[in-house]
Amino acid sequence: MQLFIAFKNYSSWSLRPWIALKAKGIAFEETVLEYSELDNFGAQHEIPPKVPVLMDQGLVIWDSLAILEYLAEQFPEQAFWPKEKALRALARSASAEMHSSFMGLRSQCSMNCRKERRVPMTVEIENDLKRLAEIWQEFGQAQNKPTGAFLCGEFSNVDAMYAPVMWRVRNYGLTVSPAFDHWAKAMYELPAMQEWLAAAKAEETKWVLPQYED
């Protein structure tokens, strides 16, 4: 398998399948594309000019959530989704919500792993933080959940989908809830996340988006 991503410091969508693969111990080759290469790459493979993209056995899978669903099908023994039906349904619903919502956090708190900064609190950000707290409460009350620090006990696709939110809350000094803090600590301390962070820091000598580095 080959995963095409953008620069680690900024590409929240790339982080999602990358950390899922790493956390589950699935071998893959990684190719980092510069943003100037995306148009040609998309045209070559007849897909949108965006990353991440997974290539496997002649298949081209684009979009983070589609890649995560593909991985769950290919490696059922890895439990990319929780095994318990109700918990799996909750995880899928929360992942889809992440995929389509939280526009305040996305637009006003762009992911930047190597910089801490502050932005004015807005109604949009405040509403998103409140919704995150509600989601974490719902997972905390879920029945038949295995023990563990992640949303479904063990690391799963829903943690991968919310991985960039950990960086946004942590590096913008935002507050969600104690339950979120417990999860964010576990996410930050993942060996895979530390590997991602080290690579993001190493990029600074060759790739910086000034508007995100003030």
C-alpha dihedral over 165, 167, 168, 172, to 10 degrees?
150
Q: Is there a shared CATH topology between the 2-77 domain and the 82-194 domain?
A: no
- 45 within 8 A of 53, measured Cβ to Cβ: yes
Q: For residue range 31-44, what is the model confidence (pLDDT) as tens digits?
A: 999 888 889 998 99
Q: Is the C-alpha dihedral spanning 106, 23, 206, 62 positive or negative?
A: negative
Out of 3.40.50.920, 3.10.20.30, 3.40.30.10, 3.40.50.1460, which CATH number does the structure's domain 2-77 have? 3.40.30.10
154 forms beta bridges with 152
The domain ranges of the chain are: 2-77, 82-194
The DSSP bridge pattern shows strands 53-56 and 2-5 to be: antiparallel
Out of 3.90.550.10, 3.40.50.11720, 1.20.1050.10, 3.40.50.300, which CATH number does the structure's domain 82-194 have? 1.20.1050.10
Phi and psi for 52 in degrees, rounded to 5? -85, 160
pTM of the model: 0.94
Q: What is the pLDDT along the chain (214 residues), one digit of tens a residue?
A: 999 999 999 999 999 999 999 999 999 999 999 888 889 998 998 999 999 999 999 999 999 999 999 999 999 999 999 999 999 999 999 999 999 999 999 999 999 999 999 999 999 999 999 999 999 999 999 988 999 999 999 999 999 999 999 999 999 999 999 999 999 999 999 999 999 999 999 987 776 666 555 5
3-class secondary-structure state, position 113:
coil
